[in-house]
């Protein structure tokens, strides 16, 4: 069965620090990869997605993610976080032809002002 | 456009009671999904639908039923609620394409006593 792992459950950073959240998946075939964000009290919003082409994907609010096929990873990065980035971040994967989106368990990011 | 809306926002049930959660989307999306979100487990797919009149089981379908009588609506039913169904329920919709982006509703918080 396909699985998605987010090893960092809770990350605490100060403003202006750099961020990298890990995401690894287990499926070896063609995959589509997503990062969603859930701000406190809000619903999930798409940050960025990858399906082919340049493995470095840029999303909204200064976030980017790099797909490394050999490592089955799709890590999320931001050079300088802001207090407003405090949220829960979910990595999600689906196979090229499948309808189901498999989510990781999420990483809670707390940015201290 | 309202996007994806969910009714109700919050509900308390007693064990054994039944209820229906309503999801509506105004984006003319073909696909609709129901997820549950539990602490430390991310989102798990309950049921989904690829079109009006069709539904399919996801990862955790037991104890739930769904119906998609109209393209814009996707109903999730609990026939006999159990405390294990205490969760936050999210509906999502998407349009079929090379890479689907799922758009999420605001969620329904359900407490089963």
Listed range (A8-12, A18-22, B38-42, B104-108) with the worst mean pLDDT: B38-42
Both tokens assigned to A29: 């075939």
Q: Is A43 on the interface with B (CB under 8 A)?
A: yes
Both tokens assigned to B4: 């994806």
pLDDT band, residue A27 (cuts 50/70/90): confident
Q: Which residues of B touch A32 (CB under 8 A)?
A: 99-100
Q: Give the number of residues written for chain B.
A: 113
| B94, β-bridge pairs | B31
Write the DSSP symbol of residue B85: G
Residue of B nearest to A34 (CA): B101
Q: Rg for chain A (alpha carbons), in Å? A: 13
pLDDT band, residue A89 (cuts 50/70/90): very high
At residue A110, the 3 state secondary structure works out as: strand
B104 and A101 within 8 Å at the Cβ level: the answer is no
Write the DSSP symbol of residue A83: G
Listed range (A47-51, A65-69, A94-98, B83-87) with the worst mean pLDDT: A94-98
CB of A74 closer than 8 Å to CB of A91: yes
CB of B43 closer than 8 Å to CB of B35: yes
Structure-token match 């991310």, residue found: B42
B107 and A43 within 8 Å at the Cβ level: the answer is yes
**What is the tens place of the pLDDT at every residue in A34-68?**
999 999 988 899 999 998 889 999 999 999 999 99
B43 CA to centre of own chain:
11
């Amino acid at each position: 069965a396909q699985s998605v792992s987010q090893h960092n459950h809770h990350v605490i950073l100060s403003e202006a620090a750099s961020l990298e959240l890990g995401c690894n998946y287990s499926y070896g075939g063609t995959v589509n990869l997503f990062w969603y964000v859930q701000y406190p009290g809000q619903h999930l919003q798409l940050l960025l997605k990858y399906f082919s082409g340049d493995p470095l994907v840029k999303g909204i609010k200064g976030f980017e993610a790099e797909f490394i096929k050999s490592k089955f990873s799709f890590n999320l990065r931001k050079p300088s976080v802001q207090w407003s980035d405090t949220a829960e971040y979910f990595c999600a994967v689906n196979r090229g032809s499948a309808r189901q989106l498999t989510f990781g368990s999420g990483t809670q990011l707390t940015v201290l002002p | 456009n309202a996007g994806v809306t969910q009714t109700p926002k919050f509900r308390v049930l007693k064990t054994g009671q039944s209820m229906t959660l309503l999801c509506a989307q105004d984006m003319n999306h073909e696909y609709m999904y129901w997820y549950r979100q539990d602490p430390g487990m991310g989102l798990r797919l309950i049921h989904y639908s690829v079109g009006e009149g069709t539904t399919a089981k996801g990862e955790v379908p037991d104890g739930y039923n769904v119906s998609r009588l109209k393209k814009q609506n996707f109903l999730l039913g609990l026939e006999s609620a159990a405390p294990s169904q205490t969760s936050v329920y999210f509906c999502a919709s998407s349009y079929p394409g090379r890479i689907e982006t799922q758009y999420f509703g605001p969620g329904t918080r359900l407490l089963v006593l």
